[in-house]
Amino acid sequence: MATRSKPSATKAAGRARATDAAGVVAKGAVSRTRRSVTRLSISSKNYSSWSLRGWLMVKLAGIDFEEERVAIDAPGARAELLLLAPSILVPCLVHKGIRMWDTLAIGEYLNEIAPEAKLLPTNPVHRAHCRSICGEMHSGFSALRASLPMNMRARLKGFKVWSKAQHDIERIETIWQECLQRYGGPWLFGRHRTLADAMFAPVASRFTTYGVALSPAAADYRDRVMAMPEMQTWIADALAEPDELDELDMEF
């Protein structure tokens, strides 16, 4: 099924609130005028790895959705975002009035409403494996997250990886290699892209940004993820985004 997402800005014509060129609702503003069946709130496409995971999951599910960009750092927007997601976190999915505000919950729900997309493997043993590595990504790799934040635009040469982050990188390489060997690729669980590919997609971006040295198999998988058409769309939007967070853009 073809997917289609509509940035909220496209529906904003005629509204009093300003949106910038990338379609981000102006700071302090969360649009309330649109109400499509499926709506996903996300923040920066350059920096927000959780937004990317949730967005990819909905794309892989093949569901039409409206994308709502929120500037979560603006005090006004935080108050309004609280109405959308009790955690004040993105991504938040609203489908037919049902709200989900955690990436794993979103993925599990999408698998229930779009089983034909095979977001989880049909074999229960493989499904357990898939859920395990999604969970590991969800709750782990804190050193990698802290020292190699997602930054789609940046390319850092000679970046020195901290030893704890190196352990995380090695564990991720092991996960990828085991999956690719066991299920035969090209995706982590074989021919179909699953929640696991969405969960690890921001890691592929981080490995690219920071020039992380990888084994040939892991490097191939990283490049495959980065070349996915959905990922290319996301990257193009990230490059067009005006927001800059100095602390994340610096070289360290």
Ligand X SMILES: N[C@@H](CCC(=O)N[C@@H](CS)C(=O)NCC(=O)O)C(=O)O
Name the residue nearer to ligand X (CB basis): 1 or 146: 146
- Told to check if 196 binds ligand X by CB under 6 A, we report no
- Told to check if 49 binds ligand X by CB under 6 A, we report yes
- Told to check if 219 binds ligand X by CB under 6 A, we report no
Distance CA 49, CA 28 (A): 22
- Told to check if 50 binds ligand X by CB under 6 A, we report yes
- Told to check if 41 binds ligand X by CB under 6 A, we report no
For residue 39, the cross-strand partners are 66, 94
- Told to check if 72 binds ligand X by CB under 6 A, we report yes
Using DSSP, how many helices (H) and how many strands (E) does the chain show? 10, 5
Distance of CA 203 to the CA centre of its chain: 10
Name the residue nearer to ligand X (CB basis): 38 or 103: 103
Distance CA 67, CA 247 (A): 27
- Told to check if 248 binds ligand X by CB under 6 A, we report no
Strand, coil or helix: 35: coil
181, burial (CB in 10 Å: exposed 0-12, middle 13-18, buried 19+)? exposed
- Told to check if 89 binds ligand X by CB under 6 A, we report yes
- Told to check if 243 binds ligand X by CB under 6 A, we report no
Query: Which is it for strands 98-100 and 38-42: parallel, antiparallel or unpaired?
Result: unpaired
Distance CA 79, CA 176 (A): 39
Name the residue nearer to ligand X (CB basis): 103 or 208: 103
Count residues binding ligand X (CB under 6 A).
13
CB of 33 to ligand X, least distance (A): 23
Q: Could you tell me if 9 and 19 are in contact, meaning their C-beta atoms sit under 8 angstroms apart?
A: yes
Distance CA 191, CA 32 (A): 39
Question: Binding ligand X by CB under 6 A: which of 8, 31, 46, 48?
Answer: 48
Name the residue nearer to ligand X (CB basis): 50 or 183: 50
Name the residue nearer to ligand X (CB basis): 87 or 122: 87
Question: Binding ligand X by CB under 6 A: which of 31, 41, 103, 208?
Answer: 103
Binding site for ligand X (CB under 6 A): 43, 48-51, 72, 89-91, 102-104, 138
